Structure 1
Amino acid sequence: MRCAALAATLVLALSACTGHEDGPPSPAAADRAAAAADAAAAFVAFAQGEESQVRWAGVVRYYLHGALVAEFASSFADDPDTWDGCHLGDTTHEGRRCPVSPLTAIAGSLAPGAAPTVEDEAPITVGCSADLPEPDVDAAALAWIRPDPARRDCFSDYAVTLYFDADERVSAVDLALSGP
């Protein structure tokens, strides 16, 4: 039920962002927005500890600030421990002890009345960091999961980018954390 309510909220948020000034969004754009919202809601529910309902591509890649951290078969993507990672040799990332995870970033930003938002355009900044490199990923669609705007600051902001393949399955996830 909670996942369905979040999905409905995210569909409305994405639908509002996919319209054109000249009229309503095309049916294809509305379908992509709905699919992205459903996938984002499933990913947020997974981050909250619910059983994963995320549709994964055959191979999933995990990026940290645009650089590949891990690549694994979809059968491993439903294990929260799979998402713990850092760049080889790093002990910290943006002031946080390694490993870091997109699931932990999302779960840590949840508070009563403060749900993550989904955006259909790349954020210009994450916290006080203007640099948001993008990994070289071939994607049919993208969505960004961000904390509630009231909970964004120079240290606690993040962007979890979901990359979708042509079959609307998550093929890659990129975590960008704001730094101190």
Structure 2
Amino acid sequence: MRDAYRAATGESVPTWAPEIAIHVGGRLAGRITAAEASAGSSWDACPQGEQEYAGRPCPVGPAAALNALLADGGAPTATEGAPAVVGCDKPERPRVAGAVDSVSIVPDQQHQDCFAAFSWTLYLNGEDEIVATDLVLSSP
């Protein structure tokens, strides 16, 4: 995840808050600790009570979306805030207590179709710590 963030923004990843709320499609999917945040599988989740998300079996995570993008010759880019449209969907976003800023990792413009588009939004508190994430995958 650090490499994707660095490639998209040109900056190093902000530090993790002691606990990070993981959202998928705007819905809480779990919480991880700062120590767990470095493990790629820690980000894989599903909205609570669901078996699939956006037509994909759970768990889903940002690594799979990023790997598919790179395999297709795409590149991650960064955008301020959370995109209002992801592919063909207008996702609801979580309300994140304590967040004062957000940045999203999204595919380059050539990979913004109705199936492959995604956004992985990182929510930052006043100390520039990541307090929450929200993964949105476009659905066909």
Query: Any stretches of 5+ residues in structure 2 without a counterpart?
Result: none
Residue 155 of structure 1 deviates from its aligned partner by 0.6
User: Which of the numbers 86, 107, 115 marks the counterpart of 1:126?
Assistant: 86
User: Which of the numbers 3, 18, 39 marks the counterpart of 1:79?
Assistant: 39
User: Which of the numbers 142, 147, 158 marks the counterpart of 2:107?
Assistant: 147
Residue 103 of structure 1 deviates from its aligned partner by 2.1
Q: Could you list the per-position Cα deviations for residues 51-102 of structure 1 after superposition, in whole angstroms to 9, with x for gaps in the alignment?
A: xxx6211111100111110112211111212111112332211111111002
Query: Any stretches of 5+ residues in structure 1 without a counterpart?
Result: 12-36, 40-53
Distance 1:10 1:65 in 2: 23
Percentage of identical aligned residues: 34
Secondary structure of 1:167's counterpart equals: coil
Please tell me whether Structure 1 or Structure 2 has the larger radius of gyration of its CA atoms: 1
User: Which of the numbers 135, 145, 153 marks the counterpart of 2:94?
Assistant: 135
Residue 179 of structure 1 deviates from its aligned partner by 0.6
What TM-score do you get using the length of structure 1 for normalisation?
0.68
Query: Aligned pairs, how many?
Result: 136
Distance 2:6 2:35 in 1: 24
Report what 1:59 is aligned to.
Answer: 19
Distance 1:87 1:106 in 2: 20
- Higher relative CO (Cα under 8 Å, sequence separation at least 6) belongs to 2
Report what 2:137 is aligned to.
Answer: 177
Residue 122 of structure 1 deviates from its aligned partner by 2.8
Q: Could you list the per-position Cα deviations for residues 96-127 of structure 1 after superposition, in whole angstroms to 9, with x for gaps in the alignment?
A: 11110022222221147531110014322111
Please say if residues 30 and 45 of structure 2, whose CA atoms lie closer than 8 Å, have aligned partners that are also in contact.
yes
User: Which of the numbers 90, 95, 116 marks the counterpart of 2:50?
Assistant: 90
Secondary structure of 2:128's counterpart equals: coil
Letter in 1 for 2:12: D
Secondary structure of 1:110's counterpart equals: helix
What TM-score do you get using the length of structure 2 for normalisation?
0.85
Secondary structure of 2:31's counterpart equals: strand
Provide the aligned C-alpha RMSD in A: 2.1
Q: Does 109-118 or 95-104 show the bigger shift?
A: 109-118
Please say if residues 88 and 139 of structure 2, whose CA atoms lie closer than 8 Å, have aligned partners that are also in contact.
yes
